[in-house]
Structure 1
Amino acid sequence: MDDDSRLTRWDRRTDLALGIASLVFLGSYAVHVLAPGMPKAAHAFFLSLMYTAWAMFGVDYAVRWRLSGEGPGFVRRHWLDTVVLVLPLLRPVRVVRTYESIQRRHGEPRLPLHARVAAYSALSISLLGFSGALAVYQVERSAPNASIRTFGDSLWWTCSTLSTVGYGDYVPVTTLGRFIAAGLMACGLALLGTVTGSFSSWMLQRFSLGEDERRPPEN
């Protein structure tokens, strides 16, 4: 039994559970950030959900490392998984991959490729933007001279950052906030580039089909 098949079976069995755990982590973190005045028992409950989900991510990473048979090379080859383990707020974005794998188990996806790219990119941007807004709000709201004081400010700033518009009315002033901003800028450029490239490819295909239909048949 080769390592690739074992790793594939593990991924297939754990995709749904880890996808749910990702959403539980994000929801618990959102409550933790947005409701700081909650009772201590509720606060401890949501923190325990967060750490339990994070522990599941760690176990999954360790098992996949073991099943891959790559040794230390697993970290280099799967560097994105390592980043997601260290920064678990990025984990909910992998729900998109979970949904895709579930669709494929039930046959071919209903949407065409270009529509899937646009839909999955929109979902990824939404999850990434919400996670980034929570993180920036948490580190900026109590910082001296901060302009991001409410979660609404953070959401507006996140939208302008991901869209690469950058109005400049709200800016992070902490080192960690600026680090998060740099990551959001890079992700925004990548995701928007993906959508733009997919749309351009679809337009070219449509124009090409139109030209073929108008071209007279050859003798």
Structure 2
Amino acid sequence: MWGVVAVDYCARLYLASDRRYWFTHHLPELAMVALPMLRPLRLVRLLALVGVLQRSAGTALRGRITAYTAGSVSLLALVASLAVLDAERGAPGASITDFPDALWWSLVTITTVGHGNLELLA
């Protein structure tokens, strides 16, 4: 395993465009090759990479969650509007007789504590 780490270090040093710059900025890796007890320090680099990936994935995930939530709430409002319109239309003394009134009722009911009163509009 030590040989693989040493070959990896030498290959990256050889492939670097500015070897002097690469060498001075990768001294901890040289120490890992020279001192086998420091090899677990390579995991620190992996932890930094995981942190970067989590930040970018977290941003994408938050965007998806926001989109799914907005879509779900919109669908819930439309379904609730259709349900209350179906229940109220044709009933004697009903205050919700068309779709805009039903949509207003569902939006007010969702965004408040459930007091979607249409009598307040009159």
What is the TM-score normalised by the length of structure 1?
Answer: 0.26
Bigger CA radius of gyration? 2
What is the TM-score normalised by the length of structure 2?
Answer: 0.44
